[in-house]
């Protein structure tokens, strides 16, 4: 695991800003953390825009029914990875026919509409939730859901 310590050390020298952070770790971790940081530096851009955000308070109502852990389906499907995928396709969850047939792809626009008025957007779906009238709360939730997804 330490075989690339030397290379990582060289990287570290060339990225001075990271020295202070990297020095806090023992050598083995140092090489790992330096490599990780270098990758972050190289991939700066959209790939890192989707780092998981803290759960917004507006999501508390959703969390009563939905997990955000992958594949953890309670009475409602997990919302991990929901952003960017087809509605009604979380494996292992038994959706209503309405949701399965909705042909929606969850993105900022479709989520915003659905969370405003779930029964209008997917009539007869089984989500017992009247809707979230506050646009700011919806936007926060959608940003959060996006951060939980690679899509």
**Which residues contribute to the site for ligand HEC (CB under 6 A)?**
61-62, 64-66, 75-77, 79, 82, 87-88, 90, 95-96, 98-99, 106, 115, 125-129, 132, 141
CB closer to ligand HEC, 11 vs 118: 118
Q: Which of 85, 69, 68, 66 shows the shortest CA–CA distance to 126?
A: 66
H or E stretch including 33? helix 27-42
> Shortest gap between Cβ of 80 and ligand HEC (angstroms)?
10
Helix (H, G, I), strand (E, B) or coil at 116: helix
8 vs 80 by CB, closer to ligand HEC = 80
Contact (Cβ atoms closer than 8 angstroms) between residue 106 and residue 84: yes
Nearest approach, Cβ of 51 to ligand HEC (angstroms)? 19
By beta carbon distance, the residue nearest ligand HEC is 62
Q: Using CA atoms, how far apart are residues 106 and 94, in angstroms rounded to an integer?
A: 18
């Amino acid at each position: 695991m330490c075989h690339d310590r030397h290379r990582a050390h060289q990287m570290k020298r060339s990225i001075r800003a990271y020295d202070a952070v990297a020095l806090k770790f023992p050598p083995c971790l140092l090489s790992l953390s330096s490599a990780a940081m270098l990758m972050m530096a190289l991939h700066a851009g959209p790939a890192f825009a989707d780092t998981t955000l803290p759960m917004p308070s507006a999501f508390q109502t959703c969390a009563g029914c939905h997990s955000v852990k992958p594949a953890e389906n309670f009475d409602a499907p997990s919302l991990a990875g929901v952003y960017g995928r087809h509605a009604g396709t979380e494996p292992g969850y038994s959706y209503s026919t309405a949701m399965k047939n909705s042909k929606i792809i969850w993105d900022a626009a479709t989520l915003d509409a659905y969370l405003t008025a779930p029964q209008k957007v997917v009539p007869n779906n089984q989500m017992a939730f009247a809707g979230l009238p506050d646009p700011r709360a919806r936007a926060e939730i959608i940003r959060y859901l996006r951060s939980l997804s690679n899509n």
